[in-house]
Structures are given as structure tokens and as C-alpha cells.
Amino acid sequence: MFTKIKQNISLAAIAAFCIILSGCELTLNKSSMAGSDQLDYAYLAPTPPMGWNSWNFFARDIDEVKIKAASDAMASSGMRDAGYQYLVIDDAWMAAKRDANGALQADPAKFPKGMKELGDYIHSKGLKFGIYEDRAYRTCQSLPGSFGHEQIDMATFAAWGVDYIKMDSCSAEHNGRLSSVDYALYRKYIEETGRPMILSISDFGHAAWVWGGKQSSQLWRTGQDIRHKMSSVYACADNSGGSGRSHPAFNGLWQFAGPGYWNDPDMLQVGNFGIKDETVNKSANRAHFGLWCILAAPLMAGNDMTNMTDSVREILTAPEVIAVNQDKRGVQGHKVFVDGKLEIYNKPLADGTTAVLLLNKGRDQADITVTWDMLGFSGKQPVRDIWECKDIGIFENCFTAKNLGEHGNMMLRIGTKGKPLSMPAPMPLEKYTITRKGVTSLSDLYYAWKDKNAPVYNKTFEGNPIRINGRIYQKGFGCRGKATFMFAGTERGDRLIGKVAMDESYQGENEGRFRIFHEDYFGDRVLWDSGPMTKDTAAKDIVVDLEGYNCIMLVFEGKDIKTEKKAGDVLGVFIDPRIIVND
Ligand code: GLA
């Protein structure tokens, strides 16, 4: 894992370097794709993919007429010309059964002319054709999944002229394969077709940046499904741009993305909120789109393009805001300021200027001030409002956005053209992965992925010293209810040792269980299992042979002994789990 990450960082860096040097549009050399090497695949998405996906608006209710109408609207509304390319047909396009040869086929009632004809239609509009599948035996909508048919499905898609594949993960826990293995298989069969199809990992944000999604795909989800509510939009943004998924010390996942590979906080809900107050609705649409642009997120619109208000169309096609998303430097923006519900993000651009989002996530009106030292500037700098495409003036040391209401925001471009601004240093590998011989305590490393409750480092979940039978332990993790967290790059590790115990302050009757997995839960590779423990169970020793394992996921979960359901109040501690490297 360690070597793989390093190799990929350097490939992405080379790609970024080439893009900056050439300063010109990159085109994919198609003939070089057949049997191509990994670097070519980075060129499939040198900037975040842009398109439209049927799911957020239509869900299952899709058919030939609607998809063709969406293609027409994408071409005629200005969306295509603004850069939206991929028209992606999500779940529920396929027939309930494969054909006699085992190939997928379109639902005959919804798509009577079949997918090839539909793909040709989409292409005739100057667009690219995207399709959905699921890596399990069935999709999220219980239709035929791709498991066991990986090769024939990739060949079928290539024959239909598909350019983009969204590969979902519902039921994939039954595959008996690690996510890294599953997605590598699709990548292999995509390469075999010789058709340059983008592979989008849809796995509810289960750590593709940790287990090596770059090896197989061009984008990976960073969290659960987005809904048409701003609370969901902000949670999705926080998975990619904040500490929703990674340790706060990373300041978001920016360091894992770059030209060729992107963090995907999910498809856009711009146009789907329906907030009654039109001012707030517009602010919400802008806040959502602005966040996705500053986070260099794939821009997959999810509204009804045949019925867009002018306001929604103007937001989705805002040229200077899209230019920030598509900036060829490919840096994902990062937070430079947080004060309660007020946030500032910075995205240094290729031409030496920088894009800044000032955002009020609260309900109360507020002013937000960005100071030049947050951005790496000083003195007098020109400021441009990129929603309005207007220069605002020259400002010394800072700029204040005044009276921002609910979801109120400004997107600015600040500075003059010249040498690109530097980025903050990425988190060094040795801070989140095993890079050295000897013994490394996991609580001396940052987890690179988490779900549910974050573990508390070197304390109980409630912030007390970790104490078992009168002895105090300096290292470990306090956990509550359900906590899962993953460390990268333990391939160098030979053994994992430590202890687990119920937290002494937990006096309830429910059970806690500790498990250690190889990689994410889809692979279901349990390396160690404490079994159910109660407040009366003595501490247990962990001893795991790590030979050949890359990512290690620690899981603590509480269970209500009466209802057999999850119990969120149970407290447990991992006591100094540490990895030993002998050679
Ligand atoms: C999952 C995905 C969604 C969508 C649905 C379709 O929930 O995360 O984006 O594709 O499946 O069933």
C-alpha cells in the first residue's frame, strides 16, 4: 500500500506538472488507450468531470423519451456549451434479466430501442454517454448487478459507446472481495475493451482515497447519498472539504485529489431544493454550486434540465465559477477560516490568482472578512465577484462580504496573474501510515477515514484517562456507539497488538464488540473479533498477523441486548493498538 500510494502521488504529480507546463488543452490519444498504462487514464479526467445524472431528479422514473429530452435540453440550454459533457443514466435502466448470453439488456418497456441507439442519440447531440451499474449481484434497485459478469458488462458498455461508468456498491458486502480488488477488476476489463471509459466509484465514501481508488478510477464518492436539503449538501461538502471523513488534521481530502483523480461529494442538487423564499433558494443553490466548484468536485447536475428557471440555469452555467472548478492546476480548495457557521475556502489557481468562497451556513445575517494572510498575499490586491462577473475594486490586506443571509455567500477571484500561489504542505505520509521499522502506536497516527463517531485519542470517549483495573494507559482510542476508523499503508506491518476493554465508566447492560478489518467493510475480512463484551468482561488481548494487509479498519459497536439493535450509548476503549515491523 505504501509503495502504491507513493507511486500514484508521483504519477499525479507528473500529470499536474505536464498540464502546468504545456498550458494548453489536453486531448486523449485514443490509439494509446488500448493496453494503455496508468498515466493515460489520468488524462481521461484532467479536470473534474462535468455532466448530468438522472438519479437526483427522476430516480427510477426514467425512459427513452425523458433521457432524449434531457439530451436535447443539455445541448440547447447552454449546459453543454458551459462544459457539461456526460449524460449519465443511473439505476433502473436495465431489464430484470440478462439475455441468453449473459449480457445486460435495456428494460424493453422503458428503452424499447435499446442502449446503443440511445447512446448514438446522446453522441449526436455532442455529448458523452454515461451509464450505471453495481458491483454486486444486484443494484440498489434490485436489478441485475455486475458481479460475476464484469468482463462481459464492460465489453457490452464499450459496444454501446459508453464513455463513463458509475459503479455502485449496494450489496457488495456479499461479493467476498475487497473494494480494491473489485474496482481493479473493472479497470482491467475497461482497459481490455480499448475504449477510454471513465470509472466512477460509488461506494458511499468508504475510503477509496485510503485503499487506492486511484489505481482503478478517476473519481470516488466521499460520503453517503446527497439529498435535496442543505443540511445534506453541507454534510457531503464536509466529507470532502472538512473532517466528515478524515481526521481534522488533514483539513479535508484535498491532498488526495488532483489532475486525473477527484474526490466526489456526490451529484448536484442545484435546482431541486424548492425553498419558498426565492432569495434563500438562490443563495442555497449558489452555496451548493460554489462549494462544489471550490472543492474541485465533479459537477454532475441532477435537476430537470427541460424545466429550469433562469436563476438555476445561470448558476449551473456561471462561466467564471465553473472556470474555478475546471482550473487546469487541479488543486482542490481547502478551508482557511471557520468561526461557527462562517467559513472561508481558498483554491489557488493556475494563473497566480486565487478563488475564495465566503459562506454563511447559519441563519443569522453576518459579515465575513478574508484577510490576505489567509491566502498567502499581502498589500493591495484586485478583487472580482465571479458570480456577478464584475471587478469590485482594489483592496488592501482584506475584503469583507457584508450582510450575508442564510446560505449567503460570495465567490471571489483575488490577486493578479503571475506565479501560482503555494498550497499548504500536505500531511506527510509518516503521520498517517506505517513508514518505519519497530513499533508504531496507531494513536500516534491520524486516521485517514472514519464513519460515525470519531474516536477520541488517548482518552476515553468522554475525555477521561483510559483506566483498566486501576492501571492508566497513556495511548489508545475512546469509542462510543459505533465508531469505525481506518489507517493507511500497514502493508509494512508484521503484527498488530494491543488490548480492548469496555470503558470503566460504562455501567449499562448493553454489549460492545471490537473488530479489526482488512480494508473497508465491503470485503468483510475480519482479522480479529473480540466477540460480545459487557461491563463485566475482562480486557482482551489483540494479536493479529498482518502479513500482506494494506489498510486496517478498527470498529467498535454497541448492541442493545434486549432489542438486538445498535446501541449508541455503549463506551469502549482500544488500548494502545500498535503495529510492529520487524525488517
Ligand atoms: C445509490 C447511489 C445513488 C444512486 C442510487 C440508485 O444509493 O449512491 O447515487 O445511484 O444508488 O439506486
Give the cell for residue 372.
490576505
Task: Identify the residue whose cell numbers are 439493535.
Answer: 565
* Mean pLDDT within 133-153: 98
What is d(CA 541, CA 391) in angstroms, rounded to the nearest whole number? 64
- Give the least confident one: 7-11, 417-421, 437-441: 7-11
Nearest-5° Cα angle at 126, 120 to 127: 75
Cα of 213 vs centre of ligand 1, distance in Å, is: 19
What pLDDT, on a 0 to 100 scale, did the predictor assign at position 3?
30
Task: Identify the residue whose cell numbers are 434479466.
Answer: 97
What is d(CA 206, CA 183) in angstroms, rounded to the nearest whole number? 13
For every residue of 155-182, DSSP letters joined together read HHHHHHT--EEEEE-TTGGGS-S-HHHH
Please return the burial class of 429, using the count of CB atoms within 10 Å of its CB with bins 0-12, 13-18 and 19+. Answer: middle
CA-nearest residue for atom 3, ligand 1, is: 225
Please return the burial class of 136, using the count of CB atoms within 10 Å of its CB with bins 0-12, 13-18 and 19+. Answer: buried
Cα of 248 vs centre of ligand 1, distance in Å, is: 28
pLDDT above 70 as % of the chain: 92
Q: Give, for ligand 1, the residue of 54, 168, 219 to mutate: max count of ligand atoms closer than 8 Å to Cβ.
A: 168
What is d(CA 186, CA 260) in angstroms, rounded to the nearest whole number? 17
Number of Cβ atoms within 10 Å of the Cβ of 22: 10
What pLDDT, on a 0 to 100 scale, did the predictor assign at position 15?
32
Do the beta carbons of residue 263 and residue 206 sit within 8 Å?
A: no
- pLDDT tens track for 570-583: 999 999 999 999 87
Q: Among the atoms of ligand 1, which is closest to the Cα of residue 225?
A: 8
Residue 460: pLDDT band with limits 50, 70, 90: very high
Q: What is the DSSP letter of 305?
A: G
- Give the least confident one: 12-26, 299-313, 492-506: 12-26
CA-nearest residue for atom 12, ligand 1, is: 140
What pLDDT, on a 0 to 100 scale, did the predictor assign at position 42?
66
Residue 11: pLDDT band with limits 50, 70, 90: very low
Number of Cβ atoms within 10 Å of the Cβ of 319: 12
Written as one letter, the residue type at 537 is T
What pLDDT, on a 0 to 100 scale, did the predictor assign at position 26?
34
CA-nearest residue for atom 9, ligand 1, is: 225
Q: What are phi and psi of 365, to 5 degrees?
A: -60, 145
Q: What are phi and psi of 452, to 5 degrees?
A: 60, -140
Cα of 133 vs centre of ligand 1, distance in Å, is: 10
CA-nearest residue for atom 6, ligand 1, is: 91
Cα of 227 vs centre of ligand 1, distance in Å, is: 11
Task: Identify the residue whose cell numbers are 449567503.
Answer: 408
- Short-list 29, 55, 57, 24, CA closest to 42: 29
What pLDDT, on a 0 to 100 scale, did the predictor assign at position 117?
98
What pLDDT, on a 0 to 100 scale, did the predictor assign at position 316?
98
Cα of 152 vs centre of ligand 1, distance in Å, is: 22
Cα of 132 vs centre of ligand 1, distance in Å, is: 9
Q: Give, for ligand 1, the residue of 52, 55, 165 to mutate: max count of ligand atoms closer than 8 Å to Cβ.
A: 55
* Mean pLDDT within 167-192: 96
What pLDDT, on a 0 to 100 scale, did the predictor assign at position 13?
33
- Short-list 268, 266, 267, 295, CA closest to 355: 295
Q: Give, for ligand 1, the residue of 52, 139, 166, 225 to mutate: max count of ligand atoms closer than 8 Å to Cβ.
A: 225
- Short-list 203, 232, 231, 230, CA closest to 216: 203
What pLDDT, on a 0 to 100 scale, did the predictor assign at position 38?
46
List pocket residues of ligand 1, CB cut-off 6 Å: 55, 90-91, 132, 140-141, 168, 202, 225
Q: Among the atoms of ligand 1, which is closest to the Cα of residue 266?
A: 9
CA-nearest residue for atom 8, ligand 1, is: 225
| Size (the chain), residues | 583
Q: Can you state the percent helix, strand and coil of the chain, rounding each to 5? A: 30, 30, 45
- pLDDT tens track for 512-568: 999 999 999 999 999 999 999 999 999 999 999 987 778 999 999 999 999 999 999
3-state secondary structure 191-233: HHHCCCCEEEECCCCCCHHHHCHHHCCCEEECCCCCCCCHHHH
Q: Give, for ligand 1, the residue of 135, 166, 170, 264 to mutate: max count of ligand atoms closer than 8 Å to Cβ.
A: 170
Reply yes or no on whether the pLDDT at 30 is more than 70: no
Mean pLDDT rounded to a whole number for the chain: 92
What pLDDT, on a 0 to 100 scale, did the predictor assign at position 582?
86
What pLDDT, on a 0 to 100 scale, did the predictor assign at position 35?
42
Number of helices and strands in the chain (H, E): 14, 29
Q: How many whole angstroms from its chain centre is CA 90?
A: 18
Cα of 288 vs centre of ligand 1, distance in Å, is: 20
pTM: 0.93
* Mean pLDDT within 378-384: 97
Residue 437: pLDDT band with limits 50, 70, 90: confident
Do the beta carbons of residue 526 and residue 517 sit within 8 Å?
A: yes
The helix or strand, by DSSP H or E, that contains position 496, with its residue range, turns out to be: strand 495-502
Catalogue the active-site residues.
168, 225
* Residue environment code for 387-423, b if the CB has 16+ CB neighbours within 10 A, otherwise e: beeeeeeebeeebebeebbbbbbbbbbbbeeeebbeb
What pLDDT, on a 0 to 100 scale, did the predictor assign at position 435?
81
Q: Among the atoms of ligand 1, which is closest to the Cα of residue 141?
A: 12
What is d(CA 358, CA 121) in angstroms, rounded to the nearest whole number? 41
Q: Among the atoms of ligand 1, which is closest to the Cα of residue 221?
A: 8
* Mean pLDDT within 355-373: 98
Query: What is the SS3 assignment for 335?
Result: strand
What pLDDT, on a 0 to 100 scale, did the predictor assign at position 550?
80
Residue 40: pLDDT band with limits 50, 70, 90: low
What pLDDT, on a 0 to 100 scale, did the predictor assign at position 491?
65
Number of Cβ atoms within 10 Å of the Cβ of 463: 8
Give the cell for residue 58.
427522476
Q: Among the atoms of ligand 1, which is closest to the Cα of residue 267?
A: 9
Nearest-5° Cα angle at 169, 452 to 156: 165
